[in-house]
Amino acid sequence: MNKSTLDPEWIEAQLHNARWHTSSLSSGGTNCVQVAFLDRGIVALRDSKNPEKTPHLFTDAEYDAFTGGIERGELRRP
């Protein structure tokens, strides 16, 4: 799927109705990343401190690659 072809109105409606998930390990849910699983295999990520900002959108494959990299330790600071 090409995210650039998604209708902006569809994205807005999806984000308006999104159910945001926060890690149970976060400190009160205010200092972490939140994720929402949208229709059409789109995943949205946002900063819980700035929920009004436009979230980053990923396809399922991109999100899986991102979380897989975290799990394998590939995204740690040197």
In this predicted model, what pLDDT tens digit does every residue of 40-70 receive, in sequence order?
999 999 998 899 999 999 999 999 999 999 9
Quote the pTM value: 0.84
Judged against a pLDDT cut of 80, whether residue 37 lies above it is answered with: yes
The answer on pLDDT for 2 being more than 80 is no
Per the CB < 8 A criterion, the answer to whether 36 and 21 are in contact is yes
* Percent above pLDDT 70 for the chain: 94
Single out the residue of 11, 1, 9 nearest to residue 54, CA to CA. 11
- What pLDDT does residue 28 have? 62
Give how far the C-alpha of residue 32 lies from the chain's centroid of Cα atoms, to the nearest Å.
11
